[in-house]
Amino acid sequence: MKIMKTILFFSILFLACNFLQAQNLTDNYLNKIPPIPKESCDISKAEVETFQEQIGVLDTEIKNQIRLLRQQENAQVKNSEARSKQNAMQQMSQQYGLSQEEMNKMQSGKMSEADKKALANKMMQQQTNMSMGEVQNLGKMSEAGKKAYMEAYGTEAMATSSQPNAVQKKESEKAKDSYELMNEQQSVMAKINDASQKIGNLYTAIEKDPKRIQMLANIEKMQSKFTSMIGANGGQGDSMDSLAVKIKNEQNKYCQLFTPQYCNAVNQHFTILTNSLPDQFRLGEITAEMTKKQTVVEIPAICAEIGSLEDLRGYLDKLQNAYQYKLYYPE
Residue 2 has pLDDT above 80, yes or no: no
Cα separation, 299 vs 319, in Å, equals: 32
Residue 168 has pLDDT above 60, yes or no: no
Mean pLDDT for the stretch of residues 211-233: 90
Contact partners, residue 92, CB within 8 Å, separation at least 6: 98, 103
Residue 297 has pLDDT above 90, yes or no: no
The pLDDT, as a whole number, for residue 140 is 54
Minimum mean pLDDT range among 72-76, 88-92, 195-199, 218-222: 88-92
Q: What is the DSSP track for 31-92?
A: HHPPPPS-SSS---HHHHHHHHHHHHHHHHHHHHHHHHHHHHHHHHHHHTHHHHHHHHHHHH
Mean pLDDT for the stretch of residues 172-184: 77
The pLDDT, as a whole number, for residue 139 is 52
Cα separation, 132 vs 125, in Å, equals: 8
Cα separation, 217 vs 301, in Å, equals: 51
Question: Over pLDDT 90: what percentage of the chain?
Answer: 49
| pLDDT, tens digit, 9 for 90 and up, residues 23-46 | 589 999 999 999 999 888 999 999
Question: Over pLDDT 70: what percentage of the chain?
Answer: 62
Cα separation, 79 vs 83, in Å, equals: 8
Better-predicted residue by pLDDT, 320 or 20: 320
At 92, the pLDDT band (50, 70, 90 cuts) reads low
The pLDDT, as a whole number, for residue 293 is 83
Cα separation, 57 vs 24, in Å, equals: 19
The pLDDT, as a whole number, for residue 244 is 92
Q: Do the beta carbons of residue 37 and residue 51 sit within 8 Å? A: yes
How high does pLDDT run on average in the chain? 79
Mean pLDDT for the stretch of residues 47-62: 97
In 3D, which of 50, 46, 23 has the Cα closest to residue 34? 50
231: left (phi over 0), alpha (psi -120 to 50) or beta: left
Cα separation, 79 vs 63, in Å, equals: 24
For 226, other C-beta atoms within 10 Å of its C-beta total 15
| pLDDT, tens digit, 9 for 90 and up, residues 226-285 | 988 887 666 677 788 899 999 999 999 999 999 999 999 999 999 999 999 999 999 999
Residue 161 has pLDDT above 90, yes or no: no
Residue 146 has pLDDT above 60, yes or no: no
The pLDDT, as a whole number, for residue 77 is 80
Cα separation, 104 vs 302, in Å, equals: 37
**What pTM value is reported for the model?**
0.69
The pLDDT, as a whole number, for residue 28 is 95
The pLDDT, as a whole number, for residue 230 is 81
